[in-house]
Amino acid sequence: MGPPGGGKGTQAQRLASAHGIPQISTGDILRAAVREQTPLGVKAKGFMDRGDLVPDEVIIGVMADRLRQSDAQKGFLLDGFPRTQAQAEALDAKLRERGPSGVRVVNLDVPDQEVVSRISGRRSCGKCGAVYHVKFTPSRKEGACDKCGGALVQRDDDREEVICKRLEVYHAQTRPVLAFYEKKGVVRSVRGTGPLDEVTALIEQALA
């Protein structure tokens, strides 16, 4: 768990690769279910096509299907799920059906100010899609893509006011989920700032 722009996806990829377990992302699963036209995928597509949020019960159903697949039987890493307390409670119930779950929750602790700095500094090439950062990975020529020379732009959802709103929603949704797992004593908070390798090492220590 962690805020938008907190490094969850990057760290999840690293951990999944190192431990030989699948990284399971809600968004990826929904898209796969829609593509494969599973019953739950068809149901989810209706909400997605209308621009509505996919209800908890549909997401939980899709996740339950995914966790039954063979590659997830020896372990898995959830990225972006659960997002609500209802999802956390449903996941807990599903995992109890499998036996002792051994769930561990890593919470990447990244200050809001750092999140705003990370995301608002991103710039994308309008032609080839390459991504830069004005502070961390700037292009050689300001405002121009190194790969194709296209103009670099800031996406609408990378604007500071949008990021602040996303953080408000994140904190509102996450507090009850963290509280749910904290009562179980399975949450480990890890500093999410600093070099990638250092953060990865801190996560591994928390999981040891």
Starting at the earlier edge strand, list the strands of the sheet with 152-153.
Answer: 131-133, 122-125, 152-153
Catalytic (active site) residue 83: yes
**Which of the following is catalytic: 104, 141, 147, 155?**
155
**Which of the following is catalytic: 43, 66, 122, 123?**
122
Catalytic (active site) residue 122: yes
**DSSP H/E element including 39:** helix 39-49
Catalytic (active site) residue 8: yes
Catalytic (active site) residue 31: no
The pair of structure tokens assigned to 105 is 């929750």
**Which of the following is catalytic: 8, 14, 43, 66?**
8
The pair of structure tokens assigned to 84 is 């609500």
Residue 112: name the closest of 4, 1, 203, 185 by CA: 4
**Which of the following is catalytic: 45, 83, 94, 188?**
83
Reduce the DSSP state of residue 184 to 3 states and report it.
coil
Catalytic (active site) residue 104: no
Catalytic residues: 8, 83, 122, 155, 166
